Amino acid sequence: MLSDEALRANVAAVEARIAAACHRAGRARDTVQLVAVTKKQPVEVLRLAYGLGLRHFGENYAQELRDKHEALADCAGLRWHAIGPVQPKNAKYVAKAAHVFHALERLEVAQELSRRRTGAPLVCFIEVNVAGEASKAGLAPDAVRGFLAQVSALPNLEVTGLMCMPPLEDDPERVRPAFRQLAALAKSLGLAHLSMGSTTDFEVAIEEGATLVRVGTALLGARPA
């Protein structure tokens, strides 16, 4: 398990990289929200991260989100982000535990989330498959406008932006066009927020307008086997 000292160093390093990217882009640091991707990490690591001031945790799997939400119920101020696609049968876990859902792409999931959600609306990002990869989830860019209209008619959901998972590249500059395309699409739809960028490319994402970056390995280290 990652030590407190190592985690502290990782958090400082990521924060410095975010600040530098914001400076290059002429943006204030507080325009970018860091989401720590906690998938497969033990609860003890999440508690260490919480102790260092991290408050936004991202989980890929609905049932893991459910379990960690329950295990950390005593941690005031935590905001849970469901960042992976969800099946309709598991939407109830996201509806109950998450504050933000980053991977909305199916109407039946949106309907189930809307039906199950109580209290404040669930903030949602529509996932867009900007590169048209067969192995990736997400809507084709030209399908987003119609889907947004359908989802916006549902109660208990609030779509505030778009999300993408671009191709993995050794050189982050190679994914800059994907981020730029997503930003242009969001602007055309009047959506203010962009969830894009991970450990390998979050600095480029910030330069292209990301308002949320999802960082796992650079913060919490490699996931346990």
User: Looking at this protein, which amino acid is placed at residue 223?
Assistant: R
Calculate what percentage of the chain has a pLDDT beyond 70.
Answer: 100
pTM: 0.96
What value does the mean pLDDT take over residues 152-168?
Answer: 95
Dihedral over alpha carbons 129, 183, 125, 110 (to 10 degrees): -60
Higher pLDDT: 72 or 225? It is 72
Given this model, what pLDDT does residue 224 score? 80
Q: Specify the CATH superfamily of domain 4-220.
A: Alanine racemase (3.20.20.10)
- Tell me the domain boundaries of the chain: 4-220
The residues facing 92 across adjacent strands are none
Higher pLDDT: 116 or 225? It is 116
Mean of per-residue pLDDT scores for the chain: 96
CB–CB of 188/172 below 8 Å? no
What value does the mean pLDDT take over residues 162-180?
Answer: 93
pLDDT class of 213 with cuts at 50, 70, 90: very high
Query: What is the SS3 assignment for 35?
Result: strand
11-68 pLDDT, tens per residue?
A: 999 999 999 999 999 999 999 999 999 999 999 999 999 999 999 999 999 999 999 9
Neighbour-count burial for 2-27, b at 16+ CB within 10 Å, e otherwise: beeeebeebbeebeebbeebbeebeb
60-74 pLDDT, tens per residue?
A: 999 999 999 999 999
Residue 131 has pLDDT above 90, yes or no: no
Given this model, what pLDDT does residue 100 score? 98
